């Protein structure tokens, strides 16, 4: 089974991925195989993706999103043989971001609905049909309050998954309005794909619930 967790930058996704890994280990009696995309150690494109996100190729709007989408797609194509082998061995595979991240973050950069729809179709065709990467059995979108995302992105975030920034800021994380547009694309994708499940991560007070409460909502759809 191939499970994907999606979410905005600063959404607490890494915390929930860790909880899902622990839950699947207990449920299945063995740890799931796991990958986080993008892989900054991926051959050729890993370093290029890191450099783009650090802003070394210019501002976000200076690089056409189709070019950026191709870099992320190449990363998944390189990993696809490994993912396919795990699935053939009967393993559960958990992925932190996958194709829908590519669509959400790149299509959010386009103001024209027609151009956005065309890029979405191009990404889906390139990744699933041309590259033939495995299709997920379950996609989960963690829909968190933008106020929570704003607070997380404004704070200094640390961890091994931030090393690619070399102490700088990810250009995708510098603009809260961009994250709002990314969320809109994610929600549209959830409405189109019945296998893409939105998990509401908003409390009754409009704020972010505890990590444990969010995980309970995720567990119900696993």
* Long-range CB pairs of 121-129, under 8 A, 24+ apart, other chains included: 122/66, 122/69, 123/69, 123/73, 123/99, 124/99, 126/69, 126/70, 126/73, 127/73, 127/76, 127/77, 127/99, 127/102, 128/99
Annotated ligand binding at 11? The verdict is yes
pLDDT digits (tens, 9 = 90+) for 63-116: 999 999 999 999 999 999 999 999 999 999 999 999 999 999 999 999 999 999
- CATH number of the domain that 102 lies in? 3.40.50.300
Annotated ligand binding at 177? The verdict is no
Annotated ligand binding at 46? The verdict is no
CA angle 67–74–177, rounded 5-degree value: 50
- Output the CA–CA distances (angstroms, integers) from residue 61 to 95, 97, 167, 210, in the order listed: 28, 22, 22, 35
The total number of structural domains that make up the chain:
1
Annotated ligand binding at 9? The verdict is yes
| Between residues 29 and 171, the one the model is more confident about | 29
pLDDT beyond 70 at 166: no
Query: What's the pLDDT score for residue 208?
Result: 84
pLDDT beyond 80 at 206: no
The arrangement of strands across the sheet holding 33-36 comes to 33-36, 93-96, 2-7, 138-143, 196-200
Average pLDDT score, the chain: 92
pLDDT digits (tens, 9 = 90+) for 134-159: 999 999 999 998 888 877 776 654 55
Annotated ligand binding at 12? The verdict is yes
Annotated ligand binding at 192? The verdict is no
Residue 135 sits in which domain range?
Answer: 2-219
The Cα 220–Cα 222 span in angstroms is 6
Annotated ligand binding at 116? The verdict is no
Query: What's the pLDDT score for residue 167?
Result: 58
pLDDT digits (tens, 9 = 90+) for 23-48: 999 999 999 999 999 999 999 999 99
CB of 193 closer than 8 Å to CB of 210: no
The Cα 159–Cα 65 span in angstroms is 27
Annotated ligand binding at 13? The verdict is yes
The beta strand positions in the chain, using DSSP E, are: 2-7, 33-36, 93-96, 138-143, 196-200
């Amino acid at each position: 089974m191939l499970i994907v967790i999606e979410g905005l930058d600063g959404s607490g996704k890494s915390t929930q991925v860790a909880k899902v890994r622990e839950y699947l280990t207990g449920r299945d009696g063995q740890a799931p195989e796991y990958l986080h995309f993008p892989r900054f150690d991926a051959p050729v494109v890993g370093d290029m993706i890191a450099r783009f996100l650090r802003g070394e190729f210019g501002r976000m709007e200076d690089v056409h999103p189709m070019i950026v989408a191709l870099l992320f797609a190449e990363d998944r194509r390189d990993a696809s043989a490994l993912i396919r082998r795990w699935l053939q061995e009967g393993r559960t595979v958990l992925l932190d971001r996958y194709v829908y991240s590519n669509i959400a973050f790149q299509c959010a950069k386009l103001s024209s609905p027609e151009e956005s729809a065309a890029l979405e179709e191009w990404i889906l065709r390139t990744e699933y049909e041309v590259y033939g990467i495995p299709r997920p059995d379950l996609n989960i979108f963690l829909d968190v309050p933008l106020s929570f995302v704003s607070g997380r992105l404004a704070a200094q975030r640390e961890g091994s998954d931030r090393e690619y920034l070399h102490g700088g800021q990810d250009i995708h994380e510098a603009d809260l309005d961009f994250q709002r547009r990314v969320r809109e694309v994610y929600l549209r994708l959830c409405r189109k794909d019945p296998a893409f499940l939105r998990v509401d991560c908003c409390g009754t007070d409009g704020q972010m619930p505890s990590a444990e409460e969010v995980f309970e909502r995720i567990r119900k759809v696993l």
